[in-house]
Amino acid sequence: MGIRFVLLVNKQGQTRLAQYFEHLSIDERRALEGEIVRKCLARNDQQNELAILEFIHLLVETMDRHFGNVCELDIMFHLEKVHFMLEEMVMNGCIVETSKTNILSPIQLMEKAS
Amino acid sequence: MNPFSSGTRLRDMIRSIRACKTAAEERAVVRKECAAIRAAISENDQDYRHRNLAKLMFIHMLGYPTHFGQMECLKLIAASGFPEKRIGYLGLMLLLDERQEVLMLVTNSLKQDLNHSNQYIVGLALCALGNICSAEMARDLAPEVERLLNSRDPNIKKKAALCSIRIIRKVPDLSENFMYPAASLLKEKHHGVLISGVQLCIELCKASKDSLDHIRRNCTDVLVRILKDVSNSSYAPEYDIAGITDPFLHIRVLRILRILGQGDADSSETMNDILAQVATKTESNKNAGNAILYECVETIMGIEATSGLRVLAINILGRFLSNRDNNIRYVALNILMRAISVDTQAVQRHRTTILECVKDTDASIRKRALELVFLLVNDTNAKHLIKELVDYLQVSDPDFKEDLTAKICLIVEKFSQDKLWYLDQMFKVLSLAGNFVKDDVWHALIVAISNAPDLQGYSVRLLYSALQASLEQESLVRVAVWCIGEYGEMLVNNVGFLDSEEPITVTESDAIDLVELALKRHTTDTTTRAMCLVSLLKLSSRFPPTSERVKGIVTQHKGNVELELQQRSIEFASIIQRHTGIKSTLLERMPVLDEASYLSKRAGSTEKTASGDPKSTASGDSKITSSVKVPNGVAKPPTTAAIPNLIDFSIDDAPVPPTSTTASEPPNFMMDLIDINLPSSPPSGGEPAPVINRNIIDDLLSIGTSPVENGLPASSSFPTIAKSTVPETKPAPVSDLLDGLSLSLDSSSSPSREEEHKSITAFQSGNLKITFSFRKQPEKLQATLIHATFTNLSSNAYTNFIFQAAVPKFIQLHLDPASSNTLPANGNGTITQSLTLTNTQHGQKPLAMRIRMSYKVNNEEKLEQGQAENKERKTFSLSIAFSSDSHSVERELFAVASHFLLSSSFELVPRFYKP
């Protein structure tokens, strides 16, 4: 299994974006989000941790390019856009696209349309 | 109205949620919003549907239930406009999951959208399908996805490829359909398509051996070329990360090469060159480059690489170890740990660097490095490594000392070829981190000293100096005090002086001073104090002139609050004062401790603590069950506790409890027996038994009524044979049993898959014998199929024979019809009947069953009953009673009871019946 979930959490530990690629009940999600720090520390043998780190960088850079120095409020108030970006980058736990231009083009297209 | 600007109301909601100070306030806001959304849904409001859904997504993210909005997603997906569909699909992916039935309704919309002319809508549908598709949807929509894999648009291709991954995971049978399209994806130029195609190939390789072979044969070269292209490509701004073109693609190609090269020399050979190139040419000053190197090393370790390549890989890890980034050092240690099994020598070369990592500032790196060092230790490097580790122990973080000490002790014990070295290292550890030394370690040290007569003097002098320097380390104090007590004269007289030692002068009173100091130190615990007292007592015998002083110190503890110390103090004082005659013999040096037996005991005790727990818990459980009242309202005697499951032969049962418990019980259970078995006799005062009895009997009757009431007519004209000639026990031949079973078993259970257990005599009286044979189906251990065979031992035929059984609540009973209701006399024929027992607490409680047989002999009603219970893997039990004659009942009961007592392993449980 590749990426199992993507969570954006602020410094107070409040979830600001959640996308799961495997099924978890609401209670399980709550529990997971509650102890996410511990989960982060329990690193998995099968993964290339450095690649995941790089992917997180890429996600943040993509959001930066779109919002211009992205902050918590950008994500809160444009949750759906962040979801659209994520959709272009990861699908079912696998990476789809790594070019920021390719990721953002459908979103810019939508903005123009509306 | 633009749904993506979410309208002002979504912003308002987010603002008001943000403004909440407490969780309760937040809940109130959410409740209000949810109520409004529900209202809008019931009014079928169309204008704000997308906005409501956006709000629901936010609420969902906060962890509140949003199931009521699921249908709204479907409505939005079915809408024609792109914006509605967009938000609808997003809602679908967030709010629903594959387990919900609602999802079935969306299949059709998805199918339409997959065939849509607008590529963005197709993309949306693919994305949603890829994220939430269930097995049924996968079957329905696989042809569409397969078609889209050949689409011209790269955006659709890449999404179709990832969608195929989901489909293959859900329905592995479909994987062969995707084999050829997947291989053709690898010929593309678009990186998105390539990365998705490679991931699809990885999934195919995992799904079936055939696909793996196919891809290995046809795609290895293509993949090698992709890797070559991407690693040689000049600057490509689109995919550039820190000067490297698309590290993500690099990593995925490396990963699939690992899968293809695993155990296959030919394909490994093909990729050797490119792997060497990636390993040498990738820039390692940025994380992206290191991620590629990491994956490359993993691949080299995973395939049949040349030894040169392996050394190259391990050298990369060596470089990682000196990297400034914590993450990189950490992953390097992790891979090195796995690499040890591949090439120990290559890893050994980086020993010094690894040792440096043990001294790292990051706690998890230190821990990993220590584990790695532990794996690297061998006879040749043990001394060097231990020296380094012991030196580090001096300055290490207090938190880390425990781990470090444990590992040092393990290594020292394992690799001590030289006793002096072992003792030296242990003394160092004791004085540096004695508080972290485990008991069994210092016990072993004492045993070792006791077995080394040449080194005892050396040890005691060294320990004395160490103790003089510091009294802070508990286990140092203990070992030193013990040695001073035992070998005090060696300390004072410098016996067994080694050349390497520095001479010290210790007087008798110096030794006593030090022990006294240790005894009086306020942090010393009781065990150490007790050891100090013994040590002092021994010293009083070693150095007779000090006797009075020792007595003075010892008596100070006669009023100690610790009973142990108080007792020692008083007894020791009296030894010193009054028993001078025997004192010296009494306080001789300890005999040499047997090293071998200590070590085996130590190994045993660690094993025992590891494996002993479940057993003790089990017996604890059974103790609880023993006090549980059985359905007949009489507490079972505690002996029931350990009775193994009647049928479950596989369970290793607890030992059979002593007979004495049973033996102490008889008066009670005899009372019970008579009391309960004969409701016609006055019940003993105050016992609620009769009331319960009726319930049980009701149960019994309701469960056990045999559907076959009208059987063959009774034939009573059988030749009369003297009772004594009737064989007492007629062992049920196995072949007969099997015959009987094949007749009565229903066709669904195939005998070949069942586990056959031996048959047992479940019940035997003068008139009737019942044998049970047991079967279990391996996949269903709770269920036991019992095949009962009834044999008439008397000289009269029985008619209207009915077998009934009652079981405790945790067992479910199913009775099949009996083969007949007439039982010919003298064992000339049998009735067979099948029962199925399902023990819902299988493994915790044994099977138990109360049985009752009613029949007519010469038109007189008879009743027999008993208890089938398990014991020593046999079944047993029961008494018999005839309703007509209360004298004979008592006689019978008595006979049976004494039989029970004699055959010690019985449990008696009272039975009832209706007269």
pLDDT digit string (tens) for B639-682?
333 333 333 333 344 444 443 333 334 444 433 333 334 344 34
B289 touches chain A (CB under 8 A): no
Q: A with B: how many residue pairs have Cβ under 8 Å apart?
A: 140
Alpha-carbon Rg for chain B, nearest whole angstrom, is: 41
Q: Residues A9, A33: contact at Cβ < 8 Å?
A: yes
B239 touches chain A (CB under 8 A): yes
Q: How far is A110 from chain B (nearest CA, A)?
A: 8
B718 touches chain A (CB under 8 A): no
Q: What is the residue-wise DSSP string for B277-344?
A: HHHHHS--SSHHHHHHHHHHHHHHHHTT--HHHHHHHHHHHHHHHT-S-HHHHHHHHHHHHHHTTT-H
Q: What is the residue-wise DSSP string for B125-149?
A: HHHHHHHH--HHHHHHHHHHHHHHH
pLDDT of the residue at A112: 83
Mutation site, A14, A21, A87, interface B, largest B CB count within 10 A: A87
Q: How far is A70 from chain B (nearest CA, A)?
A: 17
Residues of B in contact with A98 (CB under 8 A): 191-192, 195, 239, 241, 246, 248-249
B233 touches chain A (CB under 8 A): no
Return left, alpha or beta for B416; rule: phi > 0 is left, psi -120 to 50 is alpha, else beta: beta
Q: How far is A12 from chain B (nearest CA, A)?
A: 13
Q: How far is B48 from chain A (nearest CA, A)?
A: 16
Q: How many CB atoms lie within 10 A of CB B134?
A: 18
Q: How far is A66 from chain B (nearest CA, A)?
A: 15
Q: Which residues of chain B have pLDDT under 70?
A: 1-8, 98-100, 606-758, 778, 843-845, 868-915
Q: Which of A26, A29, A50 sits opposite B291 (nearest CB)?
A: A50
B17-52: pLDDT as tens digits = 888 888 899 999 899 888 888 888 888 877 788 888
Q: How far is B475 from chain A (nearest CA, A)?
A: 34
- d(CA B364, CA B335) in angstroms, rounded, equals 15
pLDDT of the residue at A39: 62
**Taking CB atoms and an 8 Å limit, are B165 and A94 in contact across chains?**
yes
* Angle between helices B154-170 and B135-149 in degrees, nearest 10: 150
Alpha carbon B839 to its chain's center: 23
pLDDT of the residue at B607: 55
Residues of A in contact with B134 (CB under 8 A): none
Mutation site, B5, B51, B64, B162, interface A, largest A CB count within 10 A: B162
Q: How far is B163 from chain A (nearest CA, A)?
A: 8
Nearest CA-CA partner of B13 in B27, B29, B36: B29
B166 touches chain A (CB under 8 A): yes
**Taking CB atoms and an 8 Å limit, are A76 and B14 in contact across chains?**
yes
For residue B765, the SS3 value is: coil
B320 touches chain A (CB under 8 A): no
Q: Residues B253, B231: contact at Cβ < 8 Å?
A: no
Domains of chain B and any CATH numbers: 306-416 (1.25.10.10), 418-595 (1.25.10), 683-885+896-902 (2.60.40.1230)
Q: How far is A16 from chain B (nearest CA, A)?
A: 8
**Taking CB atoms and an 8 Å limit, are B97 and A18 in contact across chains?**
no
For residue B635, give the DSSP letter.
B
Q: Which of A50, A96, A110 sits opposite B162 (nearest CB)?
A: A96
- Indicate the residue type of B560: N
Residues of A in contact with B334 (CB under 8 A): 45
Alpha-carbon Rg for chain A, nearest whole angstrom, is: 14
Q: Residues B197, B186: contact at Cβ < 8 Å?
A: yes
**Closest alpha carbon within chain A to B127:** A91
Residues of A in contact with B251 (CB under 8 A): 48, 51
pLDDT of the residue at B895: 42
pLDDT of the residue at A38: 60
- d(CA B696, CA B53) in angstroms, rounded, equals 59
DSSP H or E segment with residue B83: helix B82-95
**Taking CB atoms and an 8 Å limit, are B196 and A48 in contact across chains?**
no
B204 touches chain A (CB under 8 A): no
Half-sphere exposure of B482 (CA within 13 A, CB side): 18
- If 0-12 CB within 10 Å is exposed, 13-18 middle and 19+ buried, where does residue A35 land? exposed
Q: How far is A11 from chain B (nearest CA, A)?
A: 14
**Taking CB atoms and an 8 Å limit, are A50 and B294 in contact across chains?**
yes
Contact map slice: B 451-470 vs A, CB within 8 A? none
pLDDT of the residue at A37: 62
Domains of chain A and any CATH numbers: 5-113 (3.30.450.60)
Mutation site, A35, A96, A103, A111, interface B, largest B CB count within 10 A: A96
Residue A26: is its pLDDT beyond 70? yes
Q: Residues B88, B76: contact at Cβ < 8 Å?
A: yes
**Closest alpha carbon within chain A to B60:** A26
Q: How many CB atoms lie within 10 A of CB B152?
A: 7
ipTM field: 0.82
pLDDT of the residue at B600: 81
Mutation site, A5, A20, A36, A50, interface B, largest B CB count within 10 A: A50
Q: Is the pTM of this model over 0.95?
A: no
B90 touches chain A (CB under 8 A): yes
